[in-house]
Amino acid sequence: MKQRVQKVIANAGLASRRQAEKWIEEGRVRVNGQPVSLGDSADPDTDRIEVNGKPILVEPEKYCILLHKPVGYVTTARDPQGRPVVVDLVKNFPGRLYPVGRLDLNTSGLLLLTNDGELAHHLAHPRHGVEKTYLARVRGAVSPRTVQQLEAGVILDDGLTAPARVEVTRQQGTHSWVKVTIHEGRNRQVRRMFEAVGHVVSRLQRIQFGFLTLENLGPGQHRRLTKEEVERLKQL
Ligand code: URA
């Protein structure tokens, strides 16, 4: 994002804004090789900014985006098969974006994306066990005994699942709506948990990640997390 050059220099910790303005007036500051005047702007992520002939190093600004992933998008930055990818939906953010974990092609809901690789790794790591809540529409009536089984743990081909919280919220016609909270993040975990107890998931949406919810974001919409929210995420 373009900012006043004196602000970029001050943010890089090189000098106060006033001192940076003095440097600009003295002709010591160049952007992409051209001397700048007071009031000029530059983008620290894409422009080369020099003071006394030395480039200044500015860490790219870190940000985290909450996206309501629609069905039909692949959780990646580029798909070899040319399918739509989640990063296409957040084009106005520069730099490389890392998804935090993954949602299947046919799963919708809350997905975090960040240019902070360390944060993405931290949040997706099973050791940190961030709670994720899903709303599943499954075929058939889910009995109290099945709820108990899912809560206690079911055996999948990659081992027993950890305890979960499971609540049937609605039973309508041939389908049930079930809220499932897990803190693992195995591949297709919720779908496989239901398969293990004899139910097919016909729709799946992630409605919560830690303390974050989808709020009023519609499919395909996103918002940037506040600094406070990012700090809270780091504590999870
Ligand atoms: N569990 C699934 O089965 N799919 C997802 O996308 C996420 C969790």
CATH number of the domain bearing residue 46:
3.10.290.10
CATH number of the domain bearing residue 154:
3.30.70.1560
SS (H, E, C) the chain: CCEEHHHHHHHCCCCCHHHHHHHHHCCCEEECCEECCCCCEECCCCCCEEECCEECCCCCCCCEEEEEECCCCECCCCCCCCCCEHHHHHCCCCCCCEECCCCCCCEEEEEEEECCHHHHHHHHCHHHCCCEEEEEEEECCCCHHHHHHHHHCCEECCEECCCCEEEEEEEECCEEEEEEEECCCCCCHHHHHHHHCCCCEEEEEEEEECCEECCCCCCCCEEECCHHHHHHHHHC
Same domain, 172 and 115: no
The model's pTM: 0.81
191 CB near ligand 1 (under 6 Å):
yes
Same domain, 118 and 170: no
> What is the pLDDT confidence band of residue 16, given thresholds at 50, 70 and 90?
confident
Same domain, 85 and 37: no
Is residue 104 among the annotated active site residues? yes
The number of domains in the chain is 3
Structural domain range at position 90: 61-128+216-236
Active-site position among 45, 47, 79, 104 = 104
What is the model's pLDDT at position 233?
A: 93
Same domain, 224 and 124: yes
- Which residue minimizes the CA distance to atom 4 of ligand 1? 188
Answer yes or no: is pLDDT of 46 > 90: no
Q: Which ligand 1 atom is the nearest neighbour of the CA of 182?
A: 8
Q: Which ligand 1 atom is the nearest neighbour of the CA of 132?
A: 8
Instruction: Give residue-wise pLDDT tens across range 83-135.
Output: 999 999 998 777 788 999 999 999 999 999 999 988 998 898 878 889 999 99
CATH number of the domain bearing residue 73:
3.30.70.580
